[in-house]
Structure 1
Amino acid sequence: MPWLDDRGRLFGRINIIDLAVLLLVLLVAARLGLRSRLLRAVNPSTAKPVEAVLVVEDVRQATADAMQEGENVLNTKSNAVLGKLVKKEVRPALKEVETADGRLAQAESPFKKDVYLTVRGPGQVTPNVILMGGYEMRVGASLAVKGLKFAVNTTVLSVKVEE
């Protein structure tokens, strides 16, 4: 018995295109199931308070003003809540400029700001990873976050587990 018959059916029963579509649907469903399982990774009964400091570099003042203390901070890709914005510190962005004698020096930008966001929320702490909202919090990691009126790319500056 041939694998494909003259009408393109596998073993004379299953259309090969229908089989490909079915496999694609199953793969997408498996991927979504895995993703939702990762987002539910924080078990409320074993959660510990975690505080992360995120830095948003080189943004306009309007972006800095849109970030409000007390609002929820979410992961942009999944809408998973990382925690509450408990502290916001706005500083002038530092840029390297060349001086008249050819040296490099740091100067404050008159237009751009660096914003330091302190986010506090429940986290799952294991020997290998600290999760907030199902996402790994590691110093130096890039993280896209959003709030009610802002969406920015951040870098994790520090992570502290509160006992």
Structure 2
Amino acid sequence: MIDEQGKLWGRINVIDLAALVLLLLVAVGFFGLRGVQNSTAQTTQNKPVFLEFQMLVRGLSIADPEQLLKAGDRPRIIIRNQPAGQVLLAQVKVLPNTLPVGLPNGKINYVPDINSPYSRDILMTLRAEAQMTDDGAVVGGTKLKVATPIELETARYDIKGSVIGIHQVTAK
């Protein structure tokens, strides 16, 4: 079957055959199983609900957040690197940039951080239409849960943060 030159039936090199079989298996796996996975969350309820969720952005380098981020804006949202439509930016709160300083009496005092005047932590409240599933909320075909990485994008900014709270609201 395999001769002294390592050829199968005197014609095919065994190493070449193994590489060809491996290449075919990779191609079948890549193209054949590609349609099996479905990244879009399946909803069990067709009635849309309205969600309000908070996004925390830590250490955003920005000169004037009050001018750039305004309540009422409708940025595009990207959830887990998947575009998921638009959301309403309901509220923007710039958190104080402070440092904890220990006092001799054991208490902690918070003082302004003068070393990084342009680094801001921002808490944003967002509203979106969603579908509810047995596994949670789905916004734009993508599951949304606490600690999910999300991104807001407009022509003026592209901000990354994570979800820290979600709750259902009755009206837009």
TM-score (norm 2): 0.65
Structure 1 vs Structure 2 CA RMSD? 3.5
Identical aligned residues as a percent? 13
**Consecutive unaligned residues in structure 1, runs of 5 or more:** none
Q: CA offsets, 1:100-132, max 9 Å, x none?
A: 537543334443222222222232312332222
- Partner of residue 126 from structure 2, selected from 119, 131, 138: 119
Which of residues 117, 136, 157 is equivalent to 2:164?
A: 157
The answer to whether the aligner puts 1:19 opposite 2:21 as a matched pair is yes
Number of equivalenced pairs: 156
> Which structure has more helix as a fraction of its residues?
1
Q: 1:155 to 1:71 in 2, by over 3 A?
A: closer
C-alpha deviation, 1:82, in angstroms: 5.1
Q: TM-score, normalised by structure 1?
A: 0.68
Listed as ranges, the matches of 1:10-159 within 5 Å are 15-29=17-31, 32-33=34-35, 37-39=38-40, 41=42, 45-62=46-63, 64=65, 65-67=67-69, 69-75=73-79, 77-78=81-82, 80-81=83-84, 83-99=86-102, 101=104, 103-109=107-113, 110-139=117-146, 141-148=147-154, 149-159=156-166
Give yes or no for contact 1:71–1:84 (8 Å, CA) kept in 2: yes
SS of equivalent to 1:19: helix
Q: Is the 8 A contact 1:88 1:115 kept in 2?
A: no
Larger Rg: 2
Q: Are the counterparts in 2 of residues 59 and 112 from structure 1 also a CA contact under 8 Å?
A: yes
Q: Partner amino acid for 2:100?
A: V
